[in-house]
Amino acid sequence: GAGVSQTPSNKVTEKGKYVELRCDPISGHTALYWYRQSLGQGPEFLIYFQGTGAADDSGLPNDRFFAVRPEGSVSTLKIQRTERGDSAVYLCASSLSGLAGGVVLNFGPGTRLLVL
């Protein structure tokens, strides 16, 4: 079956612009996660969805970042007034369940965002 897909694979934008990053999780996976990975670093947690609701958005760096998952499947990460420091690879992952018991994260290939 298909894995997690993310679009676009690369996005170049100018400082101050608005961007949307899309994630298509594995079908049937109720849990969806957004991470950000900077060069030479491990992934940094941004937000976790269980179904349609954001169960934990404590990792969002500021109010310029927002994510939705209106139908409990596809999710969109939205970044307003982009800054050069937002440049990173944005990873999406999904899992069957976000509950305890050894969650298995299935990552997408990421969207490489470059803010000029």
Partner 1 sequence: TQLLEQSPQFLSIQEGENLTVYCNSSSVFSSLQWYRQEPGEGPVLLVTVVTGGEVKKLKRLTFQFGDARKDSSLHITAAQTGDTGLYLCAGARDSNYQLIWGAGTKLIIKP
The residue ranges that bind partner 1 (CB under 8 A) are 4, 31, 33, 40-45, 48, 55-56, 91, 93, 95, 98-110
Contacts of 74 (CB under 8 A, 6+ apart): 22, 23, 24, 25
Taking the complex as a whole, the smallest distance from the CB of residue 61 to partner 1 amounts, in Å, to: 16
Q: Which is nearer to partner 1, 52 or 80 (CB)?
A: 52
| Entry field: residues in the chain | 116
Taking the complex as a whole, the smallest distance from the CB of residue 76 to partner 1 amounts, in Å, to: 18
Taking the complex as a whole, the smallest distance from the CB of residue 107 to partner 1 amounts, in Å, to: 3
| Cβ contact 51:30 at 8 Å | yes
Which phi and psi angles does 19 have, rounded to 5°?
Answer: -135, 150
Q: Given CA atoms 114, 84, 42, 46 in this order, what sign does their dihedral have? A: negative
Taking the complex as a whole, the smallest distance from the CB of residue 50 to partner 1 amounts, in Å, to: 9
Q: Which is nearer to partner 1, 14 or 102 (CB)?
A: 102
Q: Which is nearer to partner 1, 103 or 116 (CB)?
A: 103
Q: Which is nearer to partner 1, 103 or 114 (CB)?
A: 103
| Cβ contact 42:111 at 8 Å | no
